[in-house]
Amino acid sequence: MSGLLGVAVLGAGHMGADHVRRLDRVVSGARVAAVADPDVERAKDAAVGIEGVTVHAEAEAALDAPGVGAVLIASPGPAHEDALLAAFARGLPVLCEKPMVPDPAGALRVAEAEARLGRRLTQVGFMRRHDAEYLRLKALLDGGRIGRPLMLHCVHRNVSSPPHFTSAMLIDSSVSHEIDAARWLLGQEITAVTVLRPRPSAGAPEGLLDPQFAVFETDGGALVDVEVFVNCGFGYEVRCEAVCEAGSARIGAAHGMAVTSAGGTREEVPQDYLVRFADAYDREVQAWVDATRRGAVTGASAWDGYAASAVAEAGVRSLTTGARTVVELADRPGLYDLG
């Protein structure tokens, strides 16, 4: 065990528990050294059967636990800033689930704190950058074979939303994935957001503005539209079509098994993100472990986390006002000019 990267997992909810399982059973080169959650019983449940793991109620206690060499943050977004700064103070590499920090002011503080260190420690968990289909689309667009991208058409649907979900969270929680994917696929910054609100679905909880339709403008002249519908009732669907000057490319059309019988065909639809993006999460965490063990940091940066929060904030303002809203970004620290 001494040759493995010891990881402290902060947060033992749905996502955190899945990462504990992934580090213990799927990923090579790492072990779960500590798990922290304010609900200690939940942390204990996530760590059952894992040799040598310690369980804590406080995040900083887990960071200081024996054998911890890196941190995976899967706690609720408002707890991320303190956890990231605590990891920086200890020089610990971090994989932080999105949102890196929900509000752009806090996200900028994190990026600036990392920039003062003079080296990257943070990878933000935008797992679509590790999905096989998204990687193929990225390679196609970067290669230029179908010309300059003009538009992205995106769909993001969930079976149902959690009880605590708000109208703003459709943008700053769900659409945050499309924000990062658009920036990454196009290599462009998003400069303005307009969010339109159709009549809410009968399946949406009372008071929830669901679905919504967001339009992003970029500094490269592309347009991105996103349909987000978090109470569609039938499945988890994520699709993206890139329309370019000399062709188009579409991903996400089918991910379940298709069964043909009795004169018809039925295709399974994934029911949540842990099913649809299971392979992407595995690749993401494996890539992070491999990079950390060789002293490198790859993937989405703290600047990417900040930019996503800034765009999401503009989107929430547009949702409230109904007006096109300009995205305001701070100057990018030189650390992040390295890519």
Within-domain flag for 238: yes
CA distance 184 to 190: 11
Specify whether the backbone of 266 is left (phi greater than 0), alpha (psi in -120 to 50) or beta: beta
Within-domain flag for 331: no
Instruction: Tell me the angle at which helices 302-321 and 104-117 cross, rounded to the nearest 10 degrees.
Output: 170
If the chain, 339 residues long, is cut into consecutive pieces of 10 residues, what is the mean pLDDT of each piece?
88 96 97 98 97 97 98 97 98 97 97 97 97 96 97 96 95 96 98 97 97 98 98 93 96 70 73 81 97 96 98 98 97 84
* pLDDT digit string, tens, across residues 258-292: 666 677 777 767 777 767 888 999 999 999 999 99
CA dihedral over 75, 81, 83, 88, signed as positive or negative:
positive
The pLDDT value given to residue 275:
79
Long-range contacts of 50-56 (CB under 8 A, 24+ apart): 50/20, 50/24, 51/1, 52/1
Same-domain pairing of 195 and 312: yes
- What residues make up the domain containing 123? 5-128+279-301
Same-domain pairing of 174 and 163: yes
Within-domain flag for 139: yes
Same-domain pairing of 284 and 322: no
Same-domain pairing of 44 and 181: no
CATH of the domain at 167: 3.30.360.10
Same-domain pairing of 320 and 235: yes
Same-domain pairing of 110 and 259: no
CATH of the domain at 69: 3.40.50.720
Task: Note the pTM of the prediction, 2 decimals.
Answer: 0.93
Same-domain pairing of 73 and 161: no
The pLDDT value given to residue 1:
47
Q: Is 315 exposed, middle or buried (0-12, 13-18, 19+ CB in 10 A)?
A: buried
Q: Tokens at residue 59, please?
A: 């995040």
Number of domains in the chain: 2
Q: Specify whether the CB–CB gap between 192 and 265 falls below 8 A.
A: no
